Structures are given as structure tokens and as C-alpha cells.
Structure 1
Amino acid sequence: MNAKGGPGEEPDLDSIQSLDQADLKVRAIGELIRDARNLSAEDVERISKYQREHKLRFGEAAIALGLANAEDVLFALSQQFQYAYADEDRRKANPELVALTQPFGHQAEAFRAIRSQILLRTHSEDETQRRALAVVSPDTGDGKTYFCANLAVALAQLGAKVLVVDADMRGARLHQIFGVDNSRGLSNLLAGRGGKNVVKSVPDVPNLWVIPVGVQPPNPLELVEGPAFGLLLRELTSKFDHVLIDTPAAVFGSDGVVIAARCGAALVVARRNASKVSKLQDLVVSLQAGQSRLAGVVMNEF
């Protein structure tokens, strides 16, 4: 897998190599806004003149003259600082990815705060002890997949190499949220059917990848309990800075607890005013019995 490939490319798991990003040339805000709005040389000169006369930034001058809007400036800034930010079409197509589509909103800010807490609680100076993080929940509708996807984007926005794996082989949704092909995925890997075209790059987020679930198998629990899953996690955690695993809700069985035990760390997502305390307590006890490090419990209000 090569991080230098463009959005939409599908690296092979069998050929995972260095994920170091290519050095990117920093472009001026004016150039980025000019290209985004298809401004003429005369338009750029008008903006520059207005900028000098009123002692404004280029983006502010462009907005004042009606030649750009606030979204154009935010998008240009995100490009200049290599900060993942979706364009208008992506914002309409993937409204759940608030960390990408609304990176300056209060929901995205909440994910950044949670990201900081998770890094503090799971970081290890010993790279050989790097863990994957299983995202689990007691019931359906708790927002576990929504949370997992946005946390992955938030981690990638730090510049880290992030992989999110859909291990919810009972109700997979990550491929829909990220807009990637789901014909092959985790189930193919665990069934020993090869790893080509399984790791998908995420458009607009150059250092974020996803392994979708693939074909829904009849035996999901047996697949994650088998040795192939543990070997896969070991390989993935050696290649990526962060590996997040979406899991089935506990109401479907013990899949999530088994996956969390293999990962070594778990984050519980529950829904405020909906999740029952007894189910939440049972899930936490089960995770602790499986010797998973509990990174925390998040109450979802989305």
C-alpha cells in the first residue's frame, strides 16, 4: 500500500509498504482561491488592489468583493495546511462525517476533545505494544459506527496514518459512510480468500484508509475468534499509527467483546437517555473480564 497514491486508489494488503506521505508544496491562499473559483487575472488584480488599500488578507478581500465566500477561504486554508476538509459535493453525500464536512463545528470540536483524551489514555512509548482500539456499544442505534468513522477522520487530521476496519459483520455501514466499494473486505481476509483490493483509500483524507466488511458471512463470531484475525491485527498495528475497529452491538452476541480482547483496548459508545444502565454495566464488566484496556465511555447525543 502506498500513501502517495491519489484518492480512490485501492492498495493491496499483500503489498503494504511505507506509508510516508510525499512532501507537498505549500501554495498561496490566493492561488487556491483563484483555482477554486476560476478567477481571471483581472479578478485577482482587483482583489490584490482591494487587499492593499484596505489592509486585509487576500481571502477577506475576495469575500468583500463578492468573488469568493467563507467556504472558499476555509477550503483554501485546509489545503494550505494539509487539513482534511470535504468539498461541497462530499458534504452533501456524507453528512454523517461531521469531522470532515463540518470541521469547524461544535460536533467536530467534540471529536477533537475525545481524540485528545483517547491519545492520552492509550498512548504507549513502547511501539511494540501498539494496540488497536475496538469501538463497542451495548445496543443498536447507539451511534457506534458514526463515532468510529468520525474519530478516524479526527485522528487522520493530525497527520497520523489511520486505518478503520469494519468488523461489524452483522450490520456493516462503514462502506456507506466513506463511500467505498464493499465487494471485498475483512470477511474475505479472514476466510483466507486473499488481500488484494481490500484496503481502500478515503477520498479527501490522504492518510486515512478503510477495510470494509465485504460479504456478510454466516459465521462472524467464529471468524473473529480464529487465529487469522489476531495475525491480521498484529500486521495492521505494525503498519499504521492508529487502527480503529467497528464492532457489532453487544445485543447481537459476544463479537464485540471478543474483538476488543484481541485489540487490547476498547471504547464504549452509549446513547444518552436511551441506553440502559444495566446493559452498559454488563458490557463494561465483560470487557474488563476479557482484559481489554477501557479507554472510556462516551455518551452520544447525535
Structure 2
Amino acid sequence: MELRDYLRTIRRRWVLIMASTLAVLGITGAYTYAVTPEYQSTARLFVTTQTSDTASDLNQGGLFSVQRVTSYADLVTSRELATTVVNDLDLQMSPSELSSRVSASVVPDTVNLEISVTDPEPRQAQAIAQAYADGLVDLVRQLETPAGETSSPIRATIVDPATLPTNPVSPQPARNLALGLVLGLMLGIGIAVLRDLLDTTVKAPGDIEAATSAPVLGGILFDPSARQKPLVTSMESHAPRVEAFRVLRTNLQFVDVDTADKIFVITSAVPGEGKTTTSVNLAITLSQAGHRTLLVEADLRRPKATAALGLDHAIGVTTILLGKITLEDAVQKHADSDLDVLASGAIPPNPAELLQSNAMADLLKQIRNEYDMVIVDAPPLLPVTDAALLAAQADGALLVVRYGKTSKDQVAQAVERLAQVDAAPVGVVINMVPNRKRAGGYGYGYGYGYGYGYAPEKPGT
């Protein structure tokens, strides 16, 4: 990924990044509030040696003190000194527990030793630090006094008694929240980038280029009211969704300009991508533009187009193929748009056989001669072969993909299914594209079973 890809990911998934950041900040804040405050008291000691006043003796004594002070710092965490402090102060803790609260450090290039103690109680931290300082003074005197002597050549002197802390050293709310903010942003950006890397769904025209050279003819914006009002005739004339279908209508007229009469099969890779709604609305906008348009409901398994238009599907394609009625008698008129509609007719047990029959080929020839534009609503390509069979007899297929749901592999498989019958998509429509104010929505369409037969409908579909 390039820098602009990361910036695009951040802009698109800013909600996820903000949610992750707020979650980490919330956890950090809760931890900071819940943790017990710790106070730190510090005492400072100065280590000296008894030497003569000559320069060489002073230099040697200073070097010796520097060497010894490091050892004294290590003695601070010894079990013996911890035991002494626990007994002197009558503390309700073990020597090892006390040692974990104590630290010692040597000030660089000096013979100064600092003892620091942390404890939830400020005064107890001061008392323990002072006890450790006093104990270390006694311990140094005992260890450094030669046998038979009463004084030690090395002496540790307390120069700064233990302080009484007034502010806790931990937790540090400002530091913790700043770290939480940084970690939250890093985590959010990491999750966003990972989701983009793992996301194989179609979200841009570039995602389709690897599968087909067919152009993207339009993008239909997601409209939450489309489930209740799927038809463009029920919306305001300048609604964004209506304008999107007009753009699609205009772009479709530039496809195959050398053919006067055009039959386009509208299909999708899988169910639930809105291909039926796209078929109906595209046919309506073509009719509104003055083209003599016929919408053919060629989904002989789950016909939905006539239901959306408020028409009956009992008489239509299958009735004509069986020779029981003529095309003129089977065509219905949608009053609101003056669109001619040929319903599916009775649902047959062998849809694929009917669609590749000579009778169907003759019907398409007749339709081509009588209409300027013909929109054929076909089933999805991957579950069944019906759409591919129809596309082979039409002027091309218009592939509908759903933003954020249809995968690139599904698009590639759909194109391959068309290629198997020497057909190809003439264009692609990206459906349910979120606008700036809406980042998701509900699909429209219907459920199919992956197979030749029917899948039971689920409630609400």
C-alpha cells in the first residue's frame, strides 16, 4: 500500500479508528481511576573514607568510595536489611514484599546514594525510606569496621532525610491518557488497514478492472427509503437516486452504438445485489426518456419485477413459449411510467431448458423488432445458468454488483460464466454506494439457493 492508500483508508474508516481510540482511552481512564495511588519518598546518603590530607591519599580515597558506593546500592535490596526494617517498623509485610518497593541508585560520578521507597501511604513511605537509610548506615559501619577496631574507615552519612511525599508518583493521568491516545490511534489505524487488506469486496471501479474490461456505467447511491419506495416514480424527480438511474440510462445508450435495437440482460453474480430493482428502474427511466421500452421478467424461478410494479406475473414469457398467447396480448402497461412489461408467466419446472429453446430465440427476435430498448431481468449468474443463456442471445449483459458485499472473486466468476457461452458484460453498475452521510444499509433483492432448484424463502425477504 502507498501513502495515499493509507490516507484513503483512514478517511474511509475514521469511525472505526475513533471507536478504537475512544475504547483504549476509556480503558486507560478506568485503569487510572481504579489503580491505587503510590507515593515515593527519597533519602540521600554520602559515602566517605578516612584518609590523610595528602593529594594522593585523597584521590585514592575518592576512587575507593566510588567503587564501594555501588556495592552499598546493591545491599539496599538485601533480605537482611529488609528484615531489619520490617522488625523496626513492625510492618505487616514480608521482607521480600518490602524489597520490591525499594530501589537504590548512585548519582553518576559522585559518591551519593539515593534510596527510594514507594507505598500507598505517604507517611509510611517516608518512615520506610528513613529506616532504610538508618539501617544502611549501620550496615556499612558493621561491614567496613576491621576486626578488633572500633571505627570504620568508610562512613555513610545521611545528608537528606526521607521526604514526606505530597503527590503520588503513580498513576500519572496525563501521561497515561496521552499513551492511551497514541496506542488507540495506532490500534485503530492498524485494524482499519488490516480490514482493508482482508476485504476483497468491490468498493471502487478499480476493484472490477482485474476481472473485466467492461466500463462502470453507473453507481446507484444507497437510499434507506428504497425498501419502502423501490421505484423512481415514487420519488422526487431530482432525488439523487433518480438522477443516478438517469446517468445509467444515458451511459447505456453509448453501448454498442452500431446496433439500432438493443436487448440487455440485467444480472448479478449472487443474490441480494439489487439487480431486479435496477432492472425495473432502468426500464422506467428509459421509457420516461421517450424510448419504446419493454421490461422482460425472465427470472422464471423467483419473479419479483412485476410485484415491484404492482402487476400480475401469471401470464407472460412461459405462456408465450407454450403458444397459449401472443406477445401483444401478454404485454402489460405500467400506468405511472408508460412502460411495457412482459411478466414471467407460470413458474416452470425446467427454466433453463425453456430459456435456451428455439421458441425463446424467436420471442427475442420479435421483441427486438418491436421495441427500441429491451431490459431483461435475469437470475444471478453463479447460482444458475439462466442469465448466461439469455446473455448469449442478447446484445450483452449488464452486471450489477453491490458495494461492500460482492467480492472480486465473485465478479471474476460471473464474468467467466458469461465467457463460457461466448458472452461478456457490456458494463457494470455498482449498487448501494454509500454517500458521505450514510456508510451502510440494507440490501434489496431476494434469496436464492445455490443449485438448480429453489431455496425456501426466509421471513422478511
TM above 0.5, yes or no, is: yes
Which of residues 229, 244, 264 in structure 2 aligns to 1:110? Answer: 244
Give 5+ residue unaligned stretches, structure 2: 1-224, 433-442, 444-461
> In 2, Cα distance between the equivalents of 1:200 and 1:94?
23
**Partner Cα distance (2:250, 2:422) in 1:** 23
TM-score w.r.t. structure 2 length? 0.43
1:278 matched to 2:412: no
Q: Report what 1:95 is aligned to.
A: 229
Distance 1:114 1:280 in 2: 20
Listed one character per residue, the Cα deviations across residues 102-149 of structure 1 (whole Å, up to 9, x for unaligned) are 32100011111111111111332x53xx23100011111110000000
Q: Counterparts of 2:310 and 2:227 in 1: how far apart (Å)?
A: 9
CA drift of 1:192 comes to 2.4
For the residues of structure 2 that align with 1:119 and 1:288, how far apart are their CA atoms? 23
Residues 154, 286 of structure 1: alpha-carbon distance in 2 compared, 3 angstrom cutoff: same
* Match among 332, 346, 351 for residue 200 of structure 1: 332
Displacement of 1:253 after TM fit? 1.1
CA contact (8 A) 2:283 2:375 kept: yes
Give the number of equivalent residue pairs. Answer: 208
* Preserved CA contact (<8 Å) 1:191 1:223: no
Match of 1:163 among 282, 289, 294: 294
Give the partner amino acid of 1:205: S
CA contact 1:99–1:111 (8 Å) conserved in 2: no
After TM superposition, the structure 1 stretch with the greater mean CA deviation from structure 2, 237-246 or 102-111, is 102-111
Counterparts of 1:184 and 1:97 in 2: how far apart (Å)?
22
Quote the Cα distance in structure 2 between the aligned partners of 1:290 and 1:92: 34
Deviation (angstroms), 1:98? 2.0
Could you say what secondary structure the match of 2:247 adopts?
Answer: helix
Q: Is the CA contact 2:233–2:336 (under 8 Å) kept in the aligned structure 1?
A: no
Aligned with residue 179 of structure 1, among 300, 310, 314: 310
Contact 1:264 1:291 in 2 (8 A): no
In 2: Cα distance, 1:285 partner to 1:241 partner: 29
- Equivalent position SS for 1:296: strand
Residues 150-208 of structure 1 deviation map (CA, whole Å, 9 limit, x = unaligned): 000111111110000000011101111111122211111122222263100111222x1
Local SS of the residue matching 1:213: coil
Query: Residues 100 and 122 of structure 1: is their aligned pair in 2 closer, same or farther, counting only changes over 3 Å?
Result: farther
Equivalence for 2:255: 121
- 1-side partners of 2:400 and 2:234: how far apart? 20
Structure 1, residues 40-66: CA drift from partner, whole Å, max 9, x if none? Answer: xxxxxxxxxxxxxxxxxxxxxxxxxxx
The one of the two structures with greater contact order (alpha-carbon pairs below 8 A, sep at least 6) is: 1
Partner amino acid, structure 2, of 1:165: V
**Counterpart secondary structure, 1:258:** helix
> Any idea what SS the aligned residue of 1:176 has?
helix
CA apart distance, 1:93: 11
The alpha-carbon deviation at position 216 of structure 1 amounts to: 0.7
Q: Could you say if the C-alpha distance between residues 188 and 156 of structure 1 is closer, same or farther in structure 2, counting changes exceeding 3 Å?
A: same
> Could you say what the CA RMSD is over the residues aligned between the two structures, in angstroms?
2.1
3-state SS of 1:274 partner: coil
Q: Following TM superposition, where does structure 1 have runs of at least 4 consecutive aligned residues deviating by more than 4 angstroms?
A: 91-94
Structure 1 unaligned segments of length 5 or more: list them: 1-90
User: In the alignment, is the contact (CA less than 8 A) between 1:248 and 1:255 conserved in 2?
Assistant: yes
Q: Secondary structure at the match of 1:244?
A: strand
Paired with 1:293 and 1:286, the residues of 2 have a C-alpha distance of: 9
CA distance in 1, matches of 2:417, 2:240: 33
Asked whether the equivalents of residues 267 and 297 of structure 1 are also in contact (C-alpha less than 8 Å), the reply is yes
**C-alpha distance in 1, partners of 2:235/2:227?**
10
Q: Which residue type is aligned with residue 391 of structure 2? A: A
Identity %: 28
TM-score of the two chains, using structure 1 as the length reference: 0.65
Distance 1:239 1:100, change over 3 A: farther
Partner of 1:20: none
